[in-house]
Amino acid sequence: MASGQLLFDETGQPFIVLREQDRQKRLTGTEALKSHIIAARAVANTVRSSLGPRGMDKMLVSPDGELTITNDGATIMEKMDVDHHIAKLMVELSKAQDDEIGDGTTGVVVLAGALLEQASTLLDKGIHPTKISDGFDLACKKALETLDKISEKFPINDREALVRTAMTSLGSKIVNKCLRQLAEISVDAVFCVADREAKDVNFELIKVTGKIGGHLEDTVLVKGVIIDKTMSHPQMPKELKNAKLAILTCPFEPPKPKTKHKLDITSVEEFKQLREYEKETFETMIKQVKESGATLAICQWGFDDEANHLLHHHNLPAVRWVGGPEIELLAIATNGRIVPRFSELTPEKLGSAGLVRELSFGTAREKMLCVEQCPNSRAVTIFVRGSNKMIVDEAKRSLHDAMCVIRNLIKDDRIVYGGGAAETACAIAVAAEADKIVGIEQYAFRAYADALEAIPLALAENSGLAPINTLTELKAAQIGQNAPHLGIDCVLAGTNDMRQQGVMETLTSKKEQLSLATQMVRMILKIDDLRVPDDEERSYPM
């Protein structure tokens, strides 16, 4: 029902103000919970088809028409236009997995969606949300215990095994055409910057940059720094060997007062004096740089044409407008010091590089500066090439996921097997535990086991296999052979032995997926009311 009031506008036209009691009625209790579950499941179903090496890609169009093609769960969720408040929690879930682990962003959302689907079934049976929530929590603990039991030690010093693990992460990406090459680049980049004693990897020391053009196969790892700049003067040398770098954050220009100032020039002589002063200042600065022994000046700020001419005249190559992060990477790679004043420049503060050269590529002859053969190899650059912006961007995202996997192995060198093997093993263990429980939580345990099976089901479905038959055979094989390394043969290799196929996932990533998905579902189950600020009155013309 809707109550209304008849009013007239300034032209005398009547209109009715309706108080839409039936439409504005708030959903509470189980009805509200059901609507929340439907919204969250809709988001999970969107990314379900992107799971696994045979998963489909999504084309995302931004409001200004920019295209993104990806099957990276975190990117899909981030760029999706989601209005529902509960659905936004699923986006936050994917982001949490990406921030903490870096990989498994699709799997965590699919698992959360499956848990909510099972929770909806239990709600229909009249089980209280709190009982479901508590049961899921206990089932999650059992699943985590199972993961610890079936995990295996990983040979962290075996480069080939590390490459295979990175290939598992990259196998589901668009860039799987260059699977092995990108996996090797990821492993080498991480081990260049890894602190093995502290079991930590500083990703800020790995710069991933890209340029449109060339082939994806042209992607390389440079043990140094590539900056998107060129020599400031076209006649400066394009290649320097055994270069000494002066890394400056002070501009090549005369000093200026900090406060507002004004200079009045009333005659030609005064202008000449000013010009002479500027020239002398520039030459003094260049002299200080050259006396320190520097053969290349890297400047954070710009300088005008006169300074540029004098630098070329005094045979001092220079690069200008180099950004702050790149300045820091250069200082780390070359063992140099960032110098804020010319007067403080000394030979001890200079960085060194075996080779500094300009890279040029494409018909447009685009140029970038490459600083190689640096004394400190802990700063590296991955230079990505691709036919278009979408490929370059997706390659960057894929490399990030693969590097996160290697980082997680350095932190904790235990693995479980992929292809749904770990989830199936956990589902079998949780279902077996349900029979031992006396109480209503046993329903939640069985539901949790069914939800875990959603991952191998989705993998089988996306690979073109019969989902139910494949999962039934897999469970029978795992129980019969006591082999938790058996999974879904997604690439149709003729065997479902994930150990033989080399499909591995880090234990850290898998445990985080189960924990985050369970926490998110428990939180949604605790919400029984949703209040959104909205006008109670709406106008409708007659």
pLDDT tens digits, 30-73 = 777 888 788 888 888 888 888 888 888 888 888 888 888 888 78
Q: Judge contact between 379 and 166, C-beta under 8 A.
A: no
Contact 186, 208 (CB under 8 A): no
**Cα distances (angstroms) measured from residue 421 to each of 36, 139, 213, 417:** 30, 18, 39, 6
Which of 46, 68, 70, 105 is catalytic? The answer is 105
Q: Are 203 and 377 in contact (CB under 8 A)?
A: no
Phi, psi of 52 (to 5 degrees): 90, 175
User: Could you give the CA distance from residue 315 to residue 10 in angstroms, rounded to a whole number?
Assistant: 80
* pLDDT reading at 447 higher than 90: yes
Among residues 504, 521, 505, the alpha carbon closest in space to that of 139 is found at 521
pLDDT at 144 over 60: yes
Residues 426 and 326 in one domain: no
Pairing type for strands 3-8 and 318-319 reads unpaired
Q: What is the pLDDT of residues 243-298, one digit of tens each?
A: 899 999 888 777 666 667 777 778 888 888 888 888 888 888 888 888 888 899 99
SS3 532: coil
Residues 42 and 125 in one domain: yes
Residue 432 burial (10 A CB sphere; 0-12, 13-18, 19+): middle
Question: How many other C-beta atoms are found inside a 10 Å radius of the C-beta of residue 213?
Answer: 16
| Sole residue written with tokens 């539901």 | 447
pLDDT of amino acid 10: 61
| Residue 426 placed within a domain | yes
- What is the distance between the alpha carbons of residues 18 and 21, in angstroms, rounded to a whole number? 9
Chain mean pLDDT for the chain:
83
Residues 141 and 44 occupy one common structural domain: yes
Domain CATH code at residue 420: 1.10.560.10
The total of structural domains in the chain comes to 2
pLDDT tens profile 215-238: 888 888 988 888 888 888 888 888
Helix count and strand count (H, E) for the chain: 17, 20
Nearest to 508 by CA among 369, 377, 391, 413: 413
Residue 199 belongs to a domain: no
d(CA 217, CA 178): 6
User: How far is the CA of 512 from the CAs of 144, 156, 401, 503, 508, in angstroms?
Assistant: 9, 21, 15, 19, 6
User: Please, are residues 404 and 101 in contact by the beta-carbon 8 Å criterion?
Assistant: yes
In this structure, the answer to whether residues 333 and 446 fall within a common structural domain is no
**Are 346 and 426 members of one domain?**
no
pLDDT at 169 over 60: yes
Q: Which residue among 352, 380, 401 closes a domain? A: 352
Q: Give the domain-ending residue among 352, 369, 398.
A: 352
Residue 106: active-site member? yes
- Per-residue confidence band for 140, with pLDDT thresholds at 50, 70 and 90: very high
Q: Judge contact between 77 and 91, C-beta under 8 A.
A: yes
Task: Answer yes or no: is 477 within a domain.
Answer: yes
Based on the fold, state whether residues 345 and 421 are members of the same structural domain. no
Beta strand 318-319 with 296-299 is: parallel
Both 331 and 435 in one domain: the answer is: no
On whether residue 387 sits in a domain, the answer given is no
Q: Provide the domain limits for residue 73.
A: 29-153+416-525
The percentage of the chain sitting over the pLDDT mark of 90, rounded to a whole number, equals 13
Strands (E), 90-238: 152-153, 194-195, 200-201, 206-212, 220-222, 225-227
Q: Could you give the CA distance from residue 244 to residue 249 in angstroms, rounded to a whole number?
A: 16
Lowest mean pLDDT among 18-27, 29-38, 441-450, 510-519: 18-27
What is the pLDDT averaged over residues 445-462?
91
Catalytic residue among 70, 72, 165, 230: 72
Both tokens of 322, joined, read 């180099």
Better pLDDT: 430 or 102: 430
Identify the pLDDT of residue 33.
80
C-alpha–C-alpha distance, residues 89 and 95, integer Å: 10
Provide the percentage of residues in the chain whose pLDDT is more than 70: 91
In this prediction, residue 12 carries a pLDDT of: 59
- Closest C-alpha among 410, 396, 395, 416 to residue 509: 416
- Spatial CB neighbours of 248, under 8 Å, sequence gap ≥ 6: 289, 297, 298, 299, 300, 338, 339, 342, 345
**pLDDT value of residue 258:** 65
Q: pLDDT of 476-521, one tens digit each?
A: 999 988 888 888 888 777 788 888 888 888 888 899 889 999 999 9
Q: Is residue 16 part of a domain?
A: no
The answer to whether residues 420 and 348 belong to one domain is: no
Half-sphere CA count of 116, side-chain side, radius 13 A: 32
Is 231 within the bounds of a domain? no
Q: Does one domain contain both 340 and 433? A: no
DSSP state of 377: T
Is 287 part of a structural domain of the chain?
yes
Span 187-213, average pLDDT: 86
Measured CA to CA, the distance from residue 518 to residue 141 in angstroms comes to: 10
**pLDDT tens string 38-48:** 888 888 888 88
Which is the catalytic residue, given 106, 230, 295, 518?
106
| Whether the predicted pLDDT of 383 surpasses 60 | yes
Whole-number Å distance between alpha carbons of 176 and 399: 11
330-343 pLDDT, tens digit per residue, is 888 888 899 988 88
CA distances from 56 to 69, 106, 391 (A): 10, 12, 15
Residue carrying structure tokens 């206990």: 138
pLDDT the model gives residue 143: 93
The whole-number average pLDDT for the span 520-538 is 70
Q: What share of the chain is helix, strand, coil (3-state, %, to 5)?
A: 50, 20, 30
Based on the fold, state whether residues 438 and 339 are members of the same structural domain.
Answer: no
pLDDT number for residue 88: 83
> Which long-range contacts does 498-504 make (Cβ < 8 Å, 24+ apart)?
498/417, 498/418, 498/419, 498/421, 499/417, 501/419, 502/164, 502/167, 502/168, 503/168, 503/171, 503/417, 503/418, 503/419, 504/154, 504/164, 504/165, 504/168, 504/415, 504/416, 504/417, 504/418
Contacts 24+ apart (CB under 8 A), 181-187: 181/217, 181/219, 182/219, 182/395, 182/398, 182/399, 182/402, 183/402, 185/219, 185/220, 185/221, 185/382, 185/399, 186/399, 186/402, 186/403, 186/405, 186/406, 187/159, 187/162, 187/163, 187/406
In whole angstroms, give the CA distance from residue 294 to residue 247.
10
Q: The domain that contains 329 carries what CATH number? A: 3.50.7.10
- The beta strand positions in 251-320, using DSSP E, are 296-299, 318-319
33 and 149 co-located in one domain: yes
Note the pTM of the prediction, 2 decimals: 0.76
Q: What is the pLDDT of residue 519?
A: 92
The answer to whether 105 is a known catalytic residue is: yes
pLDDT score at 425? 92
Mean pLDDT of 365-382: 84
> Cα dist. 189→156, 178, 199, 205 in Å?
15, 16, 15, 9
Query: What pLDDT is recorded for position 6?
Result: 58
Domain-located, residue 217: no
